[in-house]
Structure 1
Amino acid sequence: MSSGSRLSRRGFLGAAAAGALTALGSTGTARAADAVEQRYAAPGPRPVTAADVTGYRLVYPADLGAGDVLAPIVTWGNGTGSTPAAYDGLLRHLASWGFAVVASVSTATAKGTEMLDGARYLVAQNGAAGSVFEGRLDTGRVGAAGHSQGAGGAVNATTASGGLITTTVPVALPDERWVSPGDEFYPERLTHPVFFLGGSQDVIIAPPATLRGFYDRVPGAAAMAVLTGAGHNVIQGNGGGFRGYLTAWLRYRLAGDGTAAGAFTGTTPEITTNSAWQNQALKNLSRGAAADE
């Protein structure tokens, strides 16, 4: 799904159409019982700042290193034709929960190359004398997340990372009919936990049945959930109804957050009983993140 990909030629208009189908349920309004989703959909406790470097938008806690807490890294991939500005609220939200986010400015992230390079850039900055990131990042905890063709890029960045990236969140990962030769992704090659997110009204590009197929191809730890009433582009802006559980997953996998883990693990994981979601599936996940890797 490069700039000349099938998704670029045919699917971007389809993405817009799917977004127009978004129903009122796309906000994913949580019930009182869905405490984990509500907690992580709310702004986090950290102040946020941002900076631009060649090829990337950096969004991170303004108080990096406060309390001697290292920031996990998240590398972000945009959907076709989009830039980090289309996801600004979401990226700032993640930073408010303690993540250092590096978002490629590329509008064609399907191969995952820019995303992996972004993760490596922040890892290098952690060891660079005088960098704002020096000694303040948790370089052993790196995640990849992205939307649409950026979701494919997140899978590709992970599988090419040699173990650097330890969790993946593809949002609206496109059906393979939209993928051009050279942009293919292979969920069966993921060896670290992955969380597939999609919308029930995303019937053109990333239908729920397609996401279930990707989930089934993952040999190890995985989760999936479909937001009822959501179209293809609901993730844009501040993340919409996806924001709470996306943040909780990253906190669970990259920060060892036991509260966040409750959405996906335990006797009755919260996400499986949340009426704002459907098509939920979980496999091979444990409450202790390291045990799944």
Structure 2
Amino acid sequence: MRAIRRAGLATMAGAALAGMTADAGEEHGSGPYPALFEERADLPDHVVYRPADLRKVRRGALPIYVFGNGACSADGTSSRNHLLEIASHGYLVIASGTIPKPTAPKAPAPAARMAAPTETKALTDAIDWAQRENGRADSPFAGRIATDRIAVSGFSCGGLQALSAAQDPRVTTAVVMNSGFFPEGANPIAGVVSDKKLLKSLHGSVLYVLGGTTDIAYGNGTDDYRRIDHIPAALVNVPVGHGGTYMQPHGGVAATVVTRWLDWKLKGDGKAAGYFTGPACGFCKDDRLTIESKLGG
């Protein structure tokens, strides 16, 4: 297994943020519900991605997808094309952080041990808020959220946050992107748990999306996947390195993979399941990626 060394932390953080400043333009996702993102006064330190016209969303139709950013950043728009794409397919998406005000970008400061800018708790706080909003009579989301269908996800450092938040019994599935637990004693990020023992207490199902062998998280994520033998799991590699496809138009192929997984695991879509399993296995024939699975069928 290839471990990520402490000396590589600044590289990991920088890679997580690199390429994330491109103008999203008129990006609204390619799904049937053109999406937007917004800050909400009743959910500080988060950015909400949702179908723009909630009147078109039927009752109980929006599963929840909460997301930790690359480098555990407080920029809740750093993976916005990915998140808008998922929201446009009928999901309530909530990212940690805020919408940054225009400022000159700052490079991550090199450090022997970096402190995460956001807390893992932000992911479960987002779930709490969504469940409250669904029951609040004057909320625009009232009755529209599928509060029992929940995915936790995250990119790089945010993926570590997602693995911890996935211990919450409310979570249906976890999506770990360009990430994986560090080996024992090798975690360089203060305030973020990295404990391989937690893999045994994951429940529901889990999808890992990595960037191929040049992804700095490849060794950690692959080792996680190898250790998981008690729940359905899949590992997809999109060979683009650690930066992923988050800010490509519509979030690139990784967003397609994640959306299909969510459609299967949170909406029970049999056609979406066929991308991962069965004799046809759509992603098995996709030359943009490779896939391994332990899905029991």
TM class, shorter-chain normalised?
0.7 to 0.9
Structure 1 position 179, deviation (Å): 4.4
> Aligned ranges for residues 227-242 of structure 1 at < 5 Å?
227-228=238-239, 230-238=240-248, 239-242=251-254
State the Cα distance separating 1:211 from its structure 2 match.
2.2
Shift of 1:65: 5.5
User: Secondary structure at 1:58's aligned position in 2?
Assistant: strand
Greater length-normalized contact order (CA 8 Å, ≥ 6 residues apart)? 1
TM-score (norm 2): 0.77
Match of 1:130 in 2: 138
Rate the CA distance shift 1:55–1:16 in 2: closer, same or farther, 3 A: closer
Decide whether the 8 Å contact of 1:59 with 1:101 is kept in 2.
Answer: yes
1:96 aligns with 2:83: no
1:49 to 19, 31, 36: 36
CA 1:66–1:148: 2 relative to 1, 3 Å:
same
Task: Render the CA deviation track for 1:116-169: whole Å, top value 9, x for unaligned.
Answer: 11111111110112111111100010101110011011111011x1x2110010
Report percent identity of matched pairs.
28
Q: Return the letter of the residue paired with 1:80.
A: A
The Cα of 1:285 is off from its aligned counterpart by 4.5
* 1:8 CA drift (Å): 9.1
Render the CA deviation track for 1:71-108: whole Å, top value 9, x for unaligned.
10100110116322111111111111000011110793
Extract unaligned runs of 5+ from structure 2: 19-28, 99-114
The answer to whether 1:112 aligns with 2:120 is: yes
Contact 2:30 2:88 in 1 (8 A): yes
With over 3 angstroms needed to count, the CA separation of the structure-2 counterparts of 1:44 and 1:18, relative to structure 1, is closer
Match of 2:170 among 155, 164, 168: 164
Measure, in 2, the Cα distance between the counterparts of 1:19 and 1:131: 34
> 1:184 aligns to what?
194
What residue number does 2:69 align with? 78
Q: Give the distance between the partners of 1:231 and 1:19, measured in 2 at CA.
A: 13
Larger relative helix fraction:
1
**Structure 1 unaligned regions, length at least 5:** 1-5, 21-41, 287-293
Cα 1:100/1:8, change in 2 over 3 Å: farther
Between stretches 180-189 and 166-175, larger displacement belongs to 180-189
The alpha-carbon deviation at position 50 of structure 1 amounts to 2.6
Q: Structure 1's 132 and 285: CA in aligned 2 closer, same or farther, altered over 3 A?
A: farther
Q: Does 1:217 align with 2:223?
A: no
Q: Partners of 2:275 and 2:87 in 1: how far apart?
A: 20
Return the TM-score normalized by structure 1: 0.78
Aligned partners of 2:90, 2:15: CA distance in 1, in Å?
34
Q: CA deviation at 1:194?
A: 0.3
- Root-mean-square deviation (Å): 2.8
CA drift at 1:7? 8.7
Q: State which of 129, 139, 153 in structure 2 corresponds to 1:145.
A: 153
CA distance in 1, matches of 2:224, 2:80: 28
Distance 1:46 1:118 in 2: 21
The CA distance in 2 between the partners of 1:269 and 1:244, in whole Å, is 15
Task: Give me the whole-angstrom Cα distance separating, in 1, the residues matched to 2:45 and 2:118.
Answer: 16
1:58 aligns with 2:81: no
Q: Give the count of matched residue pairs.
A: 255
Indicate conservation of the 8 Å contact 2:277/2:295, yes or no: no
C-alpha change, 1:212 and 1:174, in structure 2 (3 Å) is closer
